[in-house]
Every structure is written in structure tokens, then in C-alpha cells.
Amino acid sequence: MSISEQSNKLLSEFSETRSRTLELVKTLEKDDFVVQTAPFMSPPKWHLGHVSWLFEMLLSKVVKNYELYSKEYLTYLNSYYNKFGEQHKKDKRGLVSRPTVDEVFQYYHTITKRVTDILQKQLDEDAKNLFTMGVHHECQHQELLVYDLLHLLADEYRPIKKNQISKPSQIEQNPVSIKGGIYTLGYSGTDWCYDIELPEHKVYLDDYKIDAFPVTNGQYLEFIEDGGYSDYQYWLSDGWDAVKKNVWQAPMYWIREKDQWLVHDFIGKRKLNANELVCHVSFYEADAYCKWVGKRLPTEAEWEKAALWNEQKQKKTLFPWGNESPTQRHANLLESYLWSCAEIGSYHQGKSHAGCYQMIGDVWEWTSSEYVGYPGFKSGFSEYNDKWFTNQKVLRG
Ligand SMILES: [Fe+2]
């Protein structure tokens, strides 16, 4: 790809991402933008302001004598970056009425214009990397925004587009056997990636088996009905404490009504679909389920090898199905506009070489690996990823 093609790609990815964020909030009422319904979620207004704020921080690194849009926004819109000064408390983002929703939109459009102008100029590699990170950061916030809209509105949210979920086909449900040996873990492509995906490094794996599809609601329901949430022996100590403290009895958004389980999501309050992938389970719940069923979570390397390794060709691909970028044919993505997990067997074309399904899209999948830097890790942007290298587990998918 030539340098000008690279720049055009970045500019179009930036425009597309900014448009998609606006699309997500297009049908909201003004009142919806301000409300914070839980300490772990953020009001939509905050997300719009924060993603623009991050681009402004990048602009101030790249543009000489950059003049900030408003110094008054800095504390409220800073999420957790000590290098950019004070931060407003995360659980109190819904308690402020300034900047107003209109002011945040004004800010959003102005920053879009400023970044667009910069991306049309000649930029060095470092600057391009920073703005690419800004685009990915905004994509991460689109995902957070969707989680938060679920908590805020559930089926009262009106997406601008809703597609029909395709009919699932029959799939092989037996666990897949994977040969062990030396495996090279990490991002193998030549495009942009996060610093935590590098460097590729060798790990040793024993032979192992992995389920051909992620755990379904129906499978998880068996764990619940067998008393999974009331028997300490399936749980890690911290997990059992969390079960008791939070009175967990089922995944988030499951509701027990009379004798049946319902879920409340973007589709509505509806009967649990046993063939949909189970969603909204913590690491502790995932781990306890595995113990109950007599299995275990995969390590990150086991997960990745099952997803990306082509045994026949002895090489790794970027996605389970090959190197082609994900589309609606391969996986359930935000841009699939389904607004729900799909049933197992819905993505025949997303099958990995090893024979695993739905490893991209639908849900993030828990692994048993600690979230730490790979050997030889080099930080790409301070305070973005590496300051979180403690007490967290790796999710893939
Ligand atoms: Fe952020």
C-alpha cells in the first residue's frame, strides 16, 4: 500500500467511525444522554465527549502550539489518564449538567473537522499511529456505549437498523482435538495492532481439546438448575465471596418469573433462547461453570491456536476463516445490526481451520491467562494498556 493510500484509508476509517458513533445515539431523546444508571456505566453524553477529548489530546501532541477547544472540559472528559491532569469521578459522570448535550455535540463536530483537516496533510508514521489508535479507541467506546445503552434503555432503545438473525444450520458439536507443540502467540499481520498483541513469542502447549462453540444459555441453565450458584465447591474463593455479596443467581439480565427464566435485552423481555450464546457472565461464573461441567477455561494460547492455526498449511491466519476481513457472513458484529447474540450454528463461514465456530463476534470469551505484557512487551502509548497489567484475565474473541 502506498503512503497516500495509507492516509486515505486512515481518513476513511476515521470518518466512518465518527459517523457510526453518531448513528448509535441518533434516536436517543435528549434526556437519555445525561443519565447514569449504574456506577460502572457512563452517560452517552460522556462517551461522545470523551472520544473527542482523546483526539484532542492526540492533536496537542502532533500540532505545534495546539489551542484546546475548552480547558473547562478537560477534567470531566478525562477517564483515567494522570498525564492529562485531574479526573472527574467515574461513578458521578451522570451528576453534571455541564457541558450540556448541545455543547458536547458542538465539541464532537468541531473535533471531527479538526482531525479531518490534519489527516488530509502529510503526517509522519508516529502521528498516523496515534490517530489510528484514536480510531480504535473510539470503536472500543462504541462497544461500551452499547453495553451502557442496554443498561440504560434495553428494548426502549431504537437502533437505526435491525437485521434479521440468519437461520442456524446443523454443526458438528463435538469437542475439537488440537495437537500441542510450540505455538507462536501474538499478532502475525503487518497492519496496525495494539501494543498488547505484540511481540509474537513462542509458547509450549500440550495436546488439548476445546469445545467447537462457545457455551450456550441452555448449557449454562443446566449449571444453574443443578444448584451451581449455591454450592461453594465449584467456585474460586473470591468468586464465592462475590456470589454471596451480590446475591448472584444467574447471569446479568436474566429474570426469574414464575417457573421460567427470561432475559431482558435490546429485543425485549423474552423467554430464554437455549441455543443463543450465554452472555454477561463474569470470569468467576465462567470458571465455576467449567468446574461443574468437568472442563476448564482455555489459556490464551490454547484459545488462539484453536482460532487461528491452520495445521494443514502449518501457518497462522489473521481470523478463524483466513485473512479476509470480518463481514456479516463470518460473524455477529456491531455492524451486523442484530442487537443480540446469535444461536450456535449461525455462522458456518466463520469456522476456524481446527473446527471451532463463533470465535469472533457475539461474545468476548474468558481465558484462564493473566492479563500481562507478552515477553518483550513495549508500551505503545503510556497509561493506555500497560497500567492495567494486574488482577485481570485475558478475554479473546
Ligand atoms: Fe477511553
Model confidence pLDDT, tens digit, residues 79-91: 999 999 999 999 9
Distance 79 CA to ligand 1 centre (A): 6
- Decide if pLDDT at 176 tops 90: yes
Ligand 1 centroid to Cα of residue 82, in Å, is: 13
What is the C-alpha to C-alpha distance for residues 343 and 347, in angstroms, rounded to an integer? 9
Residue 74 CA to ligand 1 center (angstroms) comes to 13
pLDDT at 223 over 90: yes
Mean pLDDT of 320-345: 96
- Rounded to the nearest whole angstrom, what is the distance from the C-alpha of residue 133 to the centroid of ligand 1? 11
Q: Mean pLDDT throughout 314-322?
A: 97
What separation in Å is there between the alpha carbon of 194 and the centre of ligand 1? 14
Alpha helices (H) along 153-271: 217-225, 237-246
For ligand 1, the distance from its centroid to the CA atom of residue 146, given in whole angstroms, is 14
Q: Is the pLDDT of residue 388 over 80?
A: yes
Distance, CA 39 to ligand 1 centroid (Å)? Answer: 16
pLDDT at residue 111 in the model: 98
Say yes or no to pLDDT of 172 above 90. Answer: no
CA 54–ligand 1 middle distance (angstroms): 7
pLDDT value, residue 7: 84
Give me the pLDDT at residue 74, please: 92
Contact yes or no for 166/346 (Cβ under 8 A): yes
Per-residue pLDDT, averaged over 282-292, amounts to 98
Mean pLDDT of 86-98: 94
- Give pLDDT tens digits for 8-47: 999 999 999 999 999 999 999 999 999 999 999 999 999 9
Ligand 1 centroid distance, CA of 141 (Å): 6
Quick: pLDDT tens for 128-155. 999 999 999 999 999 999 999 999 999 9
| Distance in Å, CA 137 to ligand 1 centroid | 6
Give the pLDDT band (50/70/90) at residue 3.
confident
Sign of CA dihedral 271, 365, 208, 250: negative
Q: How far is the CA of 249 from the centre of ligand 1 (A)?
A: 31
The CA 18 to ligand 1 mean position distance, Å, reads: 15
When pLDDT is averaged across residues 116-133 and rounded to a whole number, the result is 96
Task: Say whether pLDDT at 211 is over 80.
Answer: yes
For 27, residues 6+ apart whose C-beta sits below 8 A from its C-beta are: 157, 158, 159, 160
In this prediction, residue 154 carries a pLDDT of 98
Residue range 51-74, pLDDT digits in tens? 999 999 999 999 999 999 999 999
Q: In whole angstroms, what is the distance from residue 362 CA to residue 24 CA?
A: 18
Under DSSP, is residue 312 helix (H, G, I), strand (E, B) or coil?
A: coil
